């Protein structure tokens, strides 16, 4: 039996039939309309597919403040990051509560109908401080927050169509991953969150976690990310070549998660766990500096925050990993928990160092990454350099 979704019910906000959808597309075309960016469009898609269960729409002021101050959506339901829809002051004046509003996405497509229940304002600095633990605009999440409109719209949404992305064949909904797990007779499923190619340290910790579970879900984030992150198509090629050669096919599955990267560190680690619970996973890997950026979070703050959440209410088991590396002394991947020796025995490379090597056409050492993955990255880096 699959793990229960967060809040007890897996949400589906798509219209139930093509006839209903077509009828409501016609209705939406005559409604007041707002246009949203890619970030909000991915949030709409996440609500529709049940990725953000139990949310049925965008959060109101009471829910938002509870999440910010108590890390609960409502009593007994942990939640750490508000899912919000903002508009400008001028746009808000033209919208009446109790009416319906059409939402056009960043591609110019009518994607949803918002049943506008309320409008409210927020102190954006308070929002930034609570979610990101900083008010500095150098933080990408804070910068995005400060650029939001001044009025927030709350209400349930009905969604006209899903958002197709690159590698759509891997874009399984929570309902579909749950069905896939059941078909494989997996009962203990561990999810691995990533927005980067998987290097040897990642491979080590995913396989350690798999030893205690039936299946592993490699679940890369494919919503909006920072401009200097490695492109999604490059990352997918890395995942594909790695899984083909170095993982047991009967115990691993690759699917993408179409959710924005918020770089919210500890709070985002909790959200990533909740999301994977909705996808049907029972365990979730939390590594060093999970969802971090720059120096805004301590290396293991994303571990410590789980102590602040009721584990029963959270409903998914986190698996914590220390910093991992290749040990020259033992000749294998290890961590400080499992390996004797000093730092001189450990092979570790920073992301900056790896990018420098790739830019020169040099493969990172085999102790850091598999050669097949290195080739994909070198080809991309040289192509980007010569473009």
Q: Which residues are catalytic?
A: 195-196
Residue at token pair 């049943």: 115
* Element (DSSP H or E) covering residue 265: helix 265-278
- CA distances, 49 to each of 14, 37, 117, 174, 252 (Å): 8, 19, 21, 7, 23
**For 283, phi and psi rounded to 5 degrees?**
-135, 155
Burial class, 376, CB count within 10 angstroms (exposed 0-12 / middle 13-18 / buried 19+): buried
- CA distances, 57 to each of 60, 251, 324, 381 (Å): 9, 35, 39, 40
Check if the beta carbon of residue 95 is closer than 8 Å to that of residue 153: yes
Check if the beta carbon of residue 323 is closer than 8 Å to that of residue 205: no
For residues 257 and 143, what is the distance between their CA atoms, to the nearest angstrom? 23
Q: How many CA atoms lie within 13 A of 86 on its CB side?
A: 18
Query: Dihedral through CA 120, CA 121, CA 122, CA 125, nearest 10?
Result: 160
* Element (DSSP H or E) covering residue 21: helix 18-28
Cα angle 281-286-289, degrees, rounded to a multiple of 5 = 150
* Element (DSSP H or E) covering residue 191: strand 189-194
183-211 b/e (C-beta count within 10 Å ≥ 16 → b): eeebeebbbbbbbebbbbbbbbbbbbbbe
């Amino acid at each position: 039996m699959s793990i229960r979704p967060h809040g007890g019910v897996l949400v589906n906000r798509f219209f139930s039939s093509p006839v209903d959808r077509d009828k409501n597309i016609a209705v939406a075309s005559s409604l007041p309309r707002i246009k949203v960016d890619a970030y909000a469009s991915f949030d709409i898609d996440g609500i529709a597919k049940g990725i953000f269960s139990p949310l049925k729409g965008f959060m109101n002021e009471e829910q938002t403040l509870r999440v910010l101050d108590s890390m609960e959506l409502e009593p007994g339901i942990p939640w750490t990051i508000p899912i919000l829809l903002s508009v400008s002051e001028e746009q808000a004046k033209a919208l009446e509560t109790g009416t319906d509003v059409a939402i056009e996405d960043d591609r110019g497509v009518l994607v949803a109908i918002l049943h506008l229940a309320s409008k409210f304002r927020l102190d954006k600095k308070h929002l930034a401080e609570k979610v990101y633990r900083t008010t500095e605009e150098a933080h990408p999440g804070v910068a995005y927050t400060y650029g939001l409109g001044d009025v927030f719209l709350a209400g349930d949404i009905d969604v006209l169509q899903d958002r197709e992305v690159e590698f759509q064949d891997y874009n399984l909904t929570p309902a579909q991953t749950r069905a896939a797990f059941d078909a494989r007779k997996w009962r203990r499923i561990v999810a691995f969150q990533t927005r980067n190619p998987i290097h040897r340290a990642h491979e080590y910790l995913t396989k350690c976690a798999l030893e205690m579970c039936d299946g592993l879900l490699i679940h890369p984030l494919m919503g909006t990310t920072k401009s200097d992150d490695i492109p999604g198509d490059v990352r997918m090629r890395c995942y594909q070549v790695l899984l083909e050669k170095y993982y047991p096919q009967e115990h691993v599955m690759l699917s993408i998660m179409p959710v924005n990267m918020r770089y919210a560190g500890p709070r985002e680690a909790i959200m990533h766990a909740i999301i994977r619970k909705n996808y049907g996973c029972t365990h979730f890997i939390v590594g060093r500096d999970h969802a971090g950026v720059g120096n805004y979070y301590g290396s293991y703050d994303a571990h410590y925050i789980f102590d602040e959440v009721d584990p029963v209410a959270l409903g998914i088991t986190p698996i914590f990993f220390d910093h991992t590396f290749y040990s020259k002394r033992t000749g294998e991947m290890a961590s400080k928990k499992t390996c004797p020796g000093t730092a001189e025995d450990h092979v570790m490379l920073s992301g900056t160092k790896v990018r420098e090597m790739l830019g020169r056409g040099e493969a990172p050492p085999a102790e850091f990454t598999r050669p097949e993955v290195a080739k994909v990255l070198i080809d991309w880096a040289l192509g980007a350099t010569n473009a």
